[in-house]
Amino acid sequence: MTVAAQALPGPFEFAPGTTALVVIDMQRDFLEPGGFGSMLGNDVSLLQAAVEPLQRVLAAARDLGMTVIHTREGHRPDMADCPPAKFARGEFIGTDSPKGRILIRGEYGHDFVDELAPAPGEIVLDKPGKGSFYATDLELMLRNRGITSLIVTGVTTEVCVHTTVREANDRGFECLVLEDCCGSYFPEFHEVALRMISAQGGIFGWVGSSADLLAALP
Ligand code: TIU
């Protein structure tokens, strides 16, 4: 079964059986007050708008039996996988917060927001960087399942979503980014990041909405 969802720069054609829904870093540390995002001085409420549409897309993907991957940015408790250059730029990684140590695996703030908790059988991918392919086994898992297309969602649009889409595009995966299922602390970066993806004939991929995706699904 092939589906065509309205998108830019043109329809995104994909088969649900060879497509993965990738939900990037919908973690308390990015979305809730008192975590990493707010310690960096950001208004974390800007990311909340992505939660509801993403819940709808997640439900549809589950109904179709699609591969679903949830990523989390974070580090080992001993921080041996945290580059000193990343730590040095004041990202507060490893420091105490009301939600536990910032961006450390196993801590409450590092985990997913309740509304988007993974279901049994879905893949949870821990990553030390912004991209989902760097220093992870994501590509191996996708190739093992015969996945050729990705529907990419999550936060933040211009950081971890963009890095992941660029990495995926270079590896030959076709990516549809759902604009209302992503979010940024900087609304103007969100807009421009999305335009960068679909410009030049879709230089990195396609951009569409959750409504257009859901309308195209069987
Ligand atoms: N997940 C992700 O995007 N990590 C970030 O650090 N994003 C920021 O926008 N800071």
Query: With contact defined as beta carbons under 8 Å apart, do 153 and 183 qualify?
Result: no
**Alpha helix positions (H), 65-186:** 84-88, 138-144, 162-170
Is the overall model pTM greater than 0.95, yes or no? yes
Sign of torsion over alpha carbons 30, 31, 36, 42? positive
What are 146's two structure tokens? 């015969």
> Ligand 1, from 23, 30, 44: best to mutate by most atoms within 8 Å of Cβ?
30
Query: With contact defined as beta carbons under 8 Å apart, do 93 and 130 qualify?
Result: no
Q: pLDDT tens, 133-169? A: 999 999 999 999 999 999 999 999 999 999 999 999 9
Query: With contact defined as beta carbons under 8 Å apart, do 79 and 87 qualify?
Result: yes
Q: Which of 25, 29, 111, 180 is catalytic?
A: 25
Q: pLDDT tens, 10-57? A: 999 999 999 999 999 999 999 999 888 888 889 999 999 999 999 999
Q: Which of 82, 160, 175, 181 is catalytic?
A: 160
**C-alpha triplet 167, 54, 34: angle, nearest 5°:** 85
Whole-number percent of the chain with pLDDT over 70: 99
Q: What is the pLDDT of residue 87?
A: 87
